[in-house]
Chains A and B, each alone.
Chain A
């Protein structure tokens, strides 16, 4: 009989000669006081009173233990993540690198960046014998509307 069975038998008063006597020496050595039996019995009575319809007490017990384990896990979790854990270091490094890249992109002048060139999206001739063509200079620095077929203006014709 192990100590847990011995403890259960003592609580239930089944341990020979111990129902009214002092705590057996082997349990007393584990720090169990005499008043604990009455407390445990009272909790047992309460459980029997409030949960009388339990068909599978083992499952109920497992659920309670599982819940206790989860509660303890939550309380202990922050303690285990103290300091510079590996994920925290990785996230911090990623954030710093990203901030540095974005800051560089935003603040450092970019000599290689050229503003967009002007664009001719469409050109249509509206006169007979006049052709209108959109061209780009070879270095793409300028756009040209090239008109052909316009009437010649003599030199003495004032344009201004």
Chain B
């Protein structure tokens, strides 16, 4: 049987070669789609940060915690050893790369958050500085991913302990 496309046959391109090229192109398109899907799963630079200031205390029969922190209770109890946790303040913000954002501006603790202009591996990156009034306490470089909060053990306050939760929200 003569070749159905003489031009291709003259160039030495056979049917199986064309089939292989078609499969390769389809695979390439699929891989590109997967790569873009993986890329889009990384939080963008405008990801929102939720920050909460809590106080943890010991109490035999603690009341139910506020709904905003109920899901964090197991980790809070296990990590900090307190029974009761009360929400003092919370804030949702989008930290920018150049301007300082002050999360949970309590009269005592200030958290300065600057976003880093990179994102990858499903994380957003930030530079943190924490102040107690005008006194700088610590600085940190962190990568936050949704559903994996960062806890900061603050100072003792009365009979309890101040705790900060920082979490990336979708």
Contact = CB atoms under 8 A, between A and B. Distances in A.
B2 A117 contact: no
A154 B137 contact: no
Nearest to B159: A155
Q: How large is the interface on A (under 10, 10 to 19, 20 to 34, 35 or more residues)?
A: 35 or more
Nearest to A117: B148
Interface stretch (A3-11, A26-34, A44-52, A76-84): A76-84
6 contacts: A78-B9, A91-B20, A102-B27, A120-B142, A125-B137, A144-B79
B144 interface: yes
A100 B157 CA distance: 58
Given A78-B2, A116-B121, A147-B137, 17 more contacts: A74-B12, A95-B23, A115-B146, A115-B147, A118-B150, A120-B142, A124-B140, A125-B137, A126-B129, A142-B75, A145-B152, A147-B152, A150-B154, A150-B156, A152-B156, A159-B53, A159-B108
A99 B26 contact: yes
Interface of B: 1-4, 9-10, 12, 14-16, 19-20, 23, 26-27, 30-31, 33-34, 37, 53, 55, 75, 78-79, 88-89, 106-109, 121-123, 129-130, 132, 135-159, 162, 168
A97 to B, nearest CB: 11
A123 B143 contact: no
Contact of A103 (B30, B143, B144): B30
Interface stretch (A17-25, A35-43, A57-65, A130-138): A130-138
Nearest to B31: A102
Contacts of B33: 106
A110 interface: no
A135 B89 CA distance: 24
A155 B157 contact: yes
Interface of A: 74-75, 77-79, 81-82, 85, 87-88, 91-92, 94-95, 98-99, 102-103, 105-106, 115-127, 130, 132, 134, 137-138, 141-147, 150-160
Given A91-B19, A115-B122, A159-B106, A153 B140 contact: no
A124 B142 contact: no
Contacts of A88: 15-16, 19
Contact of A157 (B26, B108, B140, B152): B108
A142 B135 contact: no
A125 B139 CA distance: 6
B165 to A, nearest CB: 9
Contacts of B10: 74
